[in-house]
A and B are shown apart, each in its own frame.
Chain A
Amino acid sequence: QKEVEQNSGPLSVPEGAIASLNCTYSDRVSQSFFWYRQYSGKSPELIMSIYSNGDKEDGRFTAQLNKASQYVSLLIRDSQPSDSATYLCAGITSGTYKYIFGTGTRLKVLA
């Protein structure tokens, strides 16, 4: 099992819909998780950090962490064409503090 896994997509949603992005992680990854957005040709930009079980909301974004099932998700409400990008999930390994990134999910929001 990869340490952080994501479906590569593309995930296509219509404008105004909710986009749901998912990520699973292995036992080696600790309880700090992050979502980054990367536009084509640009560097990753931090969107959300989540450290404890449950939901964390920031504007149109909601991150969810389920430690029992070892998954993290990102919900984007009222999706806009400008949300079209690759979304990277990341965690930190226990002890070695190594950041592990998933391969990213490409999101397409259709106008």
Chain B
Amino acid sequence: KAGVTQTPRYLIKTRGQQVTLSCSPISGHRSVSWYQQTPGQGLQFLFEYFSETQRNKGNFPGRFSGRQFSNSRSEMNVSTLELGDSALYLCASSVGGDGQPQHFGDGTRLSIL
């Protein structure tokens, strides 16, 4: 069974630009969560989508947004990029609602110049 796939793996942008990251969950998984991780920091929860609806949200500014499609694939968008947005962005999927664990993709490493 294929794992969680995130694209692209690496991205370099400049301040003020916007970026879209993509996540394809494990087949059959309906929940997709997004996390930001900076060096030496824990996982900072961005949001979770379940069946195309945002079910949970973290404490990030509105520049960070996401969506989920009917095939459960998800995208995350960050507008007006700031230097502090440089981080590893992780996507995790789970079946959803049944207490099963999340499985993580390899992440997208975003660097802002």
Per-residue B-contact encoding for A65-102, CB less than 8 Å = 1, 0 else: 00000000000000000000000101010001111011
How far is B90's CA from A43's CA once the two chains are assembled, in angstroms?
A: 7
Contact flags B15-55 to A (C-beta < 8 A → 1, else 0): 00000000000000001010000000111010010100001
Measured CB to CB, the closest approach of chain A to B33, in angstroms, equals: 6
Interface SS of chain A: helix, strand, loop or mixed? strand
Inter-chain contact total with CB atoms closer than 8 Å? 58
Complex-state Cα separation, A2 to B105, whole angstroms:
26
Q: Is A62 an interface residue (CB 8 A)?
A: no
CA distance A101 to B56 in the complex (A): 14
A101 contacts B103, CB within 8 Å?
A: no
- The interface residues of chain A lying within 8 Å CB-to-CB of B96 are 97
How many chain A residues sit at the interface, stated as a range, is 20 to 34
- Residue B107 CB within 8 A of the other chain: yes
Most buried by B among A36, A49, A103: A36
Minimum distance in angstroms from B111 CB to a CB of chain A? 13
- Are B106 and A43 in contact (CB-based, < 8 A)? yes
Residues 35-63 (chain A) with a chain B CB within 8 angstroms: 36, 41-46, 49, 51
Shortest beta-carbon distance from B42 to chain A in Å: 4
Please give the distance in Å from B38's CB to the nearest CB on chain A.
12
Residue B101 lies at the interface, judged by CB distance under 8 Å to chain A = yes
Q: Which residues of B contact A (CB under 8 A)?
A: 31, 33, 41-43, 45, 48, 50, 55-56, 88, 90, 92, 94, 96-97, 99-107
